Amino acid sequence: MRRVFLAALLTACGHAAVAPTAPRLDGPIADRSTPDADFRGKPPEGAALGVPSANIEERRLKNGIRVLFVERHDAPILSVNIVSDRGGDQADAGIPEFWRRATMVASEKYKYWEVNELMNGLGAAWSAHVTPDSTEVRVTVLSKLLEPTMDLVSDLIEHPSFPPSRVTLARQRMRAGLESSYATAEGQLLLAIHRALYPAGHRYHDGLVPPESIDKVTPEILEAYQHFAFTPEHMTLAVAGDTTLAVLLPILESAFGTHTGPKVGPQAPVAPPPEPEPNPRFIVMDQPSGSQAHVAAVWLGAPTTIDDRFPYLLALEALENETFVRLRVKLGITYGAQLFGEVGRSRRPIGVASAVELDRAVDAAKALVEITDRLATAPLSAEDLDDGKTALIGAATYFDSISSTASSLAGFAVYGRPLDYPKLRAAAVRACEAEAVRNAAERWLNPSRMRIIIVGDAARIVPGLQKLSLGKVLRSPPFKL
């Protein structure tokens, strides 16, 4: 039986209904005054920062797969991250990203539509991720539905199938995505960064997904990559949420415990790119349309293994903060400025980027040079150093949610970190001194090895840059597929 709402709606909607209108405002409102008080005179100072911790259980399934688990019941859900410490750096460029888009759609047992329907029926949210260091499938599900979800997910991981029709579709979507990306300033900027930092011939010279790589990928290559990544000795099941270890382990053992996977040896690591030469310092990618320019200061970043890792992180923190303050707060020429890039096992692009008013792009470039010069030559003030430490420690949200807890556990596994890493990290950050931060900036964010890349109308940008006399300016046509 149907509810009466339809009859009511039909009455209301048989013709165009009257739209609600903005509220009537009855004249101006008088000022209100909040009484002041002494306690408002100074911002309150908080107590010492707490360091996140969690009770992490560690087990192994019979086939050796590592299990990390945090029990918590703040919401009736579970997050399971199936992660491998083998990633994009151990495959030909383009394959990992292709895998990310094509995986988890079918298995030897289930066809494409069936998998899609089963996932919908379970209400599970899942996603695949690849970094140069890791390969990962993240699943979040209502805790009551963990068992059938794990049965399905393990089947998709252990017995993958990449139907040719789905691979073809993924290829079309990737090509369309690349075409769309190349049409945007952000896409051009990303490509320009890779071209500037990786020499011709390097696997990442044309970005993480070189256009020609898309046509070479086959279902067999994708299947091989999945087997390569998800071998038991490289896998960890990082789990957090609303269950107990006693309930969880049998479910995981049943789902993943028989997985052996073909033995695939490691691949040759990516060759490190050489340090960039000092010039050209400015690269302007011509994009005549648009009212904004995208500006980035980029370097070849440091790997995770460096001994001055925490001073380096503090230098990056200072770079982002100072750029935001200069470009948005002081100059008012942008909506925002952000750090981009990741710190991983290999050296990768890292820097700060901002979309600015087109006619202020030169001002932004000049400000970035000044900021980086200062970072590399003058130690941070005691206040700025303390602020940076607080920001770095306070912003580390390892266990704030169920999903972030699972992701943190996965990160510990990928980088071989101890399970009390948040505590160790906080102590190491606290121990950093200003001179060490300056040294790290000089070593890793050196102005002479920086590239400033601008995507925008070159005719309105290049003359101003040349007038600055801060380095050689290279004008480049936009990239096309």
Partner 1 sequence: MLAAACALAACARPPMRPTPATDALVKALPTPTHSATLKNGLRVLVQEDHHSPLVAVHVVYRVGSAHDPPGRSGFAHLFEHLMFEGSKHVPRGEFDNLLARAGVSHKNAHTTHDLTAYYETLPASQLELALFLESDRMGFLLDTLNQPTLDNVRSVVKNEYRQRYETTSYAAVTPALYAATFPATHPYHRMPIGTLAELDAASLADVRQFFLRWYGPNNATLIVVGDVKGADVLAAARRWFEPIPASPTPPEIPRLPPWKPEKEQRITFQASVLLPKLFMMWPGPAYGEDGDVELTAASELIYWNLSGHLVKKLEIAHSVRTYRNVGRFGSTLHAEILLRQGIAMDKAIDEANEAIDDLSRYARWSIDDKSVREALYGTYSAEVFDLDGPSRRAETFGFFETIAGSVDALPARLRAYEAIDAGLVTDAYREFVLRTPRVIVFVEPKKSAPPGGVLKP
Q: Which of positions 356-415 make contact with partner 1 (CB under 8 A)?
A: 356-357, 386-387, 390-391, 393-405
How many Å apart are CA 201 and CA 196, to the nearest integer?
13
Classified as helix, coil or strand, 84 is strand
Element (H, E) at 370: helix 361-377
Query: What's the min distance (Å) between Cβ of 326 and partner 1?
Result: 11
Q: Which stretch binds partner 1 (CB under 8 A): 3-11, 56-64, 370-378, 461-469?
A: 3-11
Among 110, 225, 282, 312, binds partner 1 (CB under 8 A): 110
CB of 64 to partner 1, least distance (A): 29
> By C-alpha distance, which of 342, 337, 353 is closest to 302?
342
Residue 194, amino acid? H
Query: Which of 36, 307 has the CB closer to partner 1?
Result: 36
Question: Which one of residues 102, 124, 150, 315 is an interface residue with partner 1 (CB under 8 A)?
Answer: 124
Range 214-233, binding partner 1 (CB under 8 A): none
Verify binding: residue 145, partner 1, rule CB under 8 A. Answer: yes
Peptide bond into 280 cis (omega under 30): yes
Min dist CB 139 to partner 1, Å, is 11
Total residues in contact with partner 1, by rule CB under 8 A: 115
* Min dist. Cβ of residue 103 to partner 1 (A): 17
Q: How far is the CB of 229 from partner 1 (least distance, A)?
A: 26
The piece of 61-69, 113-121, 215-223, 301-309 that touches partner 1 (CB under 8 A) is: 113-121
Cβ atoms of residues 328 and 336 within 8 Å: yes
Q: Which of 63, 92, 128, 148 binds partner 1 (CB under 8 A)?
A: 148
User: Binders of partner 1 among 155-174, rule CB under 8 A?
Assistant: 169, 172-173
Which stretches of 55-107 are DSSP H helices? Answer: 95-102
Which is nearer to partner 1, 153 or 450 (by Cβ)?
153
Helix ranges restricted to H, 258-360: 309-324
**From 58, 60, 108, 183, residue interacting with partner 1 (rule: CB under 8 A):** 183
For residue 476, state whether it binds partner 1 (rule: CB under 8 A): no
Interactions with partner 1, residue window 411-450 (CB under 8 A): none
Question: DSSP secondary structure string, 154-184?
Answer: HHHHHSB---HHHHHHHHHHHHHHHHHHHTS
Q: How far is the CB of 201 from partner 1 (least distance, A)?
A: 28
- For 332, phi then psi, to 5°, come to 60, 35
Phi, psi at 72, each rounded to 5°? -155, 145
* Residue 481 C-beta: closest distance to partner 1, Å: 9
Q: Which of residues 286-345 bind partner 1 (CB under 8 A)?
A: 289-292, 321, 324-325, 328-329, 332-335
**Rule CB under 8 A: is residue 43 a binding residue for partner 1?**
yes
Q: Can you name the residues that pair with 263 across neighbouring β-strands?
A: none
Does residue 12 touch partner 1 according to CB under 8 A?
A: yes
Joined together, the tokens standing for residue 444 give 């890793």
Cβ closest to partner 1, residue 35 vs residue 416: 35
Q: How far apart are the first and last CA of the chain?
A: 57
- The SS3 of residue 233 is helix
State how far the Cα of 161 lies from the Cα of 156, in Å rounded to an integer: 8
Q: Residue 292: beta bridge partners? A: 357
Q: Is the CB of 72 or the CB of 475 nearer to partner 1?
A: 72
Distance CA 176, CA 164 (A): 18
Single-letter amino acid code for the residue at 166: R
Binding span for partner 1 by CB under 8 A among 36-44, 95-103, 373-381, 433-441: 36-44
| 29 near partner 1, judged by CB under 8 A | yes
Asked if residue 72 lies in contact with residue 408, where contact means CB atoms within 8 angstroms, the answer is no
Q: Does residue 355 interact with partner 1 by CB under 8 A? A: yes
Q: For residue 110, give the DSSP letter.
A: S
Binding of partner 1 at residue 118 (CB under 8 A)?
A: yes
Residue 78's DSSP bridge partners are 141, 241
Residues shown for the chain:
481
Pick the closer one to partner 1 by CB: 70 or 91: 70
